[in-house]
Amino acid sequence: MKWERAAMACFLVLAALAFSGCVSGAGGKLAPVQVCASDPAAQLAAEGHYLATGNGSFLAIWGAWQNVIVTAVLIILLVCGLVYAISNAIAYRNLTVWAQSQMYEAFATLVFAFLIVGIVSWMCGVDARIVGATCDPACGPNGCGCSVFKVADDYLSQFNGEISKAWWAVAMANMAIAALSTTVFSVGASGLGTTIGLGPGLSQVSASMSSALIMIGIAQLLTIAQLELLRLSAVLFVYLLPAGIVLRAFGITRGFGGGLIAIAIGFYLIYPLSIVFMYGLVDSQIHNQVGGAPGGSDESTWQQQASGPIVGWMCGLVGTILVGAAVVPFITFIIVVSFVRGLSQAIGEEVDVSNLTRLI
Amino acid sequence: MMNKMALLALVALLAVLPPVSHALGTAGCNGGYPDGNCEIGESCDCSDCWGLNPPESGGATFCDASKFQVCLPEDGKPPGDTSAAHKCRAPPAWYQPEVERVAGNWQVWGPISALAVLIAMLVVALAYMLGIGFDLPELRMWAKSELYQALASAVLVAGLVMLVAVMTDEGIAKILGQAINPFSMAYGYLLPLAEQLKSLYAWNYGINFPVEAFSSLDLYSNATLTDIYFLFFLKPTIVEPLHLANHYVIQVLLTIYFQVAILNFFQQAALGTLLPLGVFLRIFPFTRGTGGLLIAMAIGFFLVYPTIFGFITLMTEDENALRASMAGDTSSTLGVDVATYNACDHNLEAAAGEAEKQTDPAILSKINERYSFLPPLILKILFYPIVVFAVTFTFIKVASPLLGADISEVGQGLVKLL
Residue B126 and residue B216 in one domain: no
**Phi, psi values for residue B72, rounded to 5°:** -125, 150
- Which pLDDT tens digit goes with each residue over A78-119? 888 888 888 888 888 888 888 887 787 777 777 777 777 777
Distance CA B159, CA B237 (A): 65
Q: Which A positions 338-357 lie with beta carbon below 8 A of chain B? A: 338-339, 341-343, 346, 353-354, 356-357
- Which pLDDT tens digit goes with each residue over B78-131? 555 667 777 777 665 555 555 666 666 666 666 777 777 777 777 778 878 877
β-strands B218-221, B70-73 pairing: unpaired
Element (H, E) at B221: strand B218-221
Closest Cβ–Cβ partner in B253, B348, B409 for A357: B409
Distance from CA of A64 to the nearest CA of B (A): 28
Closest Cβ–Cβ partner in A207, A339, A360 for B416: A360
Query: Per the CB < 8 Å rule, is A312 touching B198?
Result: yes
Mean pLDDT of A249-276: 83
Do residues A147 and A124 make contact, with C-beta atoms less than 8 angstroms apart? yes
β-strands B218-221, A192-197 pairing: antiparallel
Among A24-33, A143-152, B70-79, B203-212, which range has the highest average pLDDT?
A: B203-212
Query: Per the CB < 8 Å rule, is A195 touching B217?
Result: yes
Residue B194 and residue B311 in one domain: yes
Do residues B305 and B388 make contact, with C-beta atoms less than 8 angstroms apart? yes
Distance from CA of B76 to the nearest CA of A (A): 26
Q: What CA–CA distances, in Å, run from B401 to A17, B277, B292?
A: 36, 17, 8
Residue ending a domain, among B138, B155, B176, is B176
Distance from CA of B140 to the nearest CA of A (A): 15
Residue B250 and residue B396 in one domain: yes
β-strands B37-38, A192-197 pairing: unpaired
Q: What CA–CA distances, in Å, run from B57 to B22, B24, B88?
A: 19, 18, 15
Query: Per the CB < 8 Å rule, is B264 touching A285?
Result: yes
Does residue B10 fall inside a structural domain? no
Helix, strand or coil for residue B81?
Answer: coil
Q: What share of chain A is helix, strand, coil (3-state, %, to 5)?
A: 75, 5, 20
Residue B127 and residue B78 in one domain: no
Closest Cβ–Cβ partner in B219, B220, B290 for A338: B290
Give the HSE-up count for residue B8: Cα atoms under 13 Å, Cβ half-sphere: 5
Q: Which region among A230-234, B254-258, B344-348 has the lowest average model confidence (pLDDT)?
A: B344-348
Q: What is the span of the domain harbouring residue B410?
A: 182-320+335-417
Do residues B363 and B334 make contact, with C-beta atoms less than 8 angstroms apart? yes
Does residue B274 fall inside a structural domain? yes
Amino acid of residue B406: D
Does residue B328 fall inside a structural domain? no
**How confident is residue A9, by pLDDT bands cut at 50, 70 and 90?**
low
Q: Which region among A323-337, B123-137, B152-166 has the lowest average model confidence (pLDDT)?
A: B152-166
Amino acid of residue B214: F
Burial of A263 (0-12, 13-18, 19+ CB in 10 A): buried
Chain A residue numbers touching B413 (CB-CB < 8 A): 353-354, 356-358, 360
Q: What is the DSSP letter of B39?
A: -
| B142 to chain A: closest CA residue | A346
**How confident is residue A293, by pLDDT bands cut at 50, 70 and 90?**
low
Distance CA A250, CA A348 (A): 12
Residue B112 and residue B241 in one domain: no
Q: Which of A5, A315, A344 has the most B C-beta neighbours within 10 Å, making it the best mutation to test the interface with B?
A: A315
Query: What's the structural domain count of chain B?
Result: 3
For residue B10, give every residue at least 6 positions away whose Cβ sits within 8 Å of its Cβ, in sequence order, or none: none
Closest Cβ–Cβ partner in A197, A205, A322 for B258: A322
β-strands A184-189, B218-221 pairing: unpaired
Residue B372 and residue B227 in one domain: yes
Closest Cβ–Cβ partner in A5, A196, A318 for B213: A196
In B236-258, which positions are buried (b, 16+ CB within 10 angstroms) versus exposed (e)?
A: ebbbbbbbebbebbbbbbbbbbb
Among candidate residues A335, A272, A276, the one with its CA nearest the CA of residue B294: A335
pLDDT at B193 over 70: yes
Residue ending a domain, among B176, B200, B230, is B176
Share of chain B above pLDDT 70, in %: 51
Residue B51 and residue B102 in one domain: no
Helix axes B305-315, B182-215, angle to 10 degrees: 60
Query: Per the CB < 8 Å rule, is B218 touching A195?
Result: yes
Distance from CA of A212 to the nearest CA of B (A): 9
pLDDT at A47 over 50: no
Q: Going edge to edge, which strands form the sheet with B226-228?
A: A184-189, A192-197, B218-221, B226-228
Residue B124 and residue B200 in one domain: no
Q: Which region among A60-74, B37-51, B119-133, B287-301 has the lowest average model confidence (pLDDT)?
A: B37-51
Does residue B291 fall inside a structural domain? yes
Distance from CA of B18 to the nearest CA of A (A): 39
pLDDT at A37 over 60: no
Do residues A155 and A280 make contact, with C-beta atoms less than 8 angstroms apart? yes
Does residue B16 fall inside a structural domain? no
Query: Per the CB < 8 Å rule, is B258 touching A319?
Result: yes
Residue B200 and residue B313 in one domain: yes
Distance CA A244, CA A225 (A): 25
pLDDT at B2 over 50: yes
| A276 to chain B: closest CA residue | B273
Does residue B4 fall inside a structural domain? no
Does any CB of chain B come closer than 8 Å to the CB of residue A115? Answer: no
Query: Per the CB < 8 Å rule, is A201 touching B205?
Result: yes
Does residue B330 fall inside a structural domain? no
Residue B50 and residue B125 in one domain: no
Looking at chain B, how many residues does it have?
418
Do residues A51 and A234 make contact, with C-beta atoms less than 8 angstroms apart? yes
Higher pLDDT, B345 or B282: B282
Residue B31 and residue B157 in one domain: no
Distance CA B213, CA A196 (A): 7
pLDDT at A41 over 60: no
Residue ending a domain, among B38, B71, B89, is B89
Neighbours of B149 (CB within 10 A): 18
Q: Which of A335, A347, A358 has the most B C-beta neighbours within 10 Å, making it the best mutation to test the interface with B?
A: A335
Distance CA B231, CA B343 (A): 11
Does residue B364 fall inside a structural domain? yes
| B211 to chain A: closest CA residue | A201
| B199 to chain A: closest CA residue | A308
Among A4-18, A123-137, B139-153, B396-410, which range has the highest average pLDDT?
A: B139-153
Residue B159 and residue B47 in one domain: no
Average pLDDT of the residues of chain A: 73
Instruction: Give the model's pLDDT for residue A59.
Output: 56
Do residues B397 and B213 make contact, with C-beta atoms less than 8 angstroms apart? no
| B232 to chain A: closest CA residue | A196
Helix, strand or coil for residue A250?
Answer: coil
Amino acid of residue A281: L
Query: Per the CB < 8 Å rule, is B222 touching A4?
Result: no
**How confident is residue B339, by pLDDT bands cut at 50, 70 and 90?**
very low
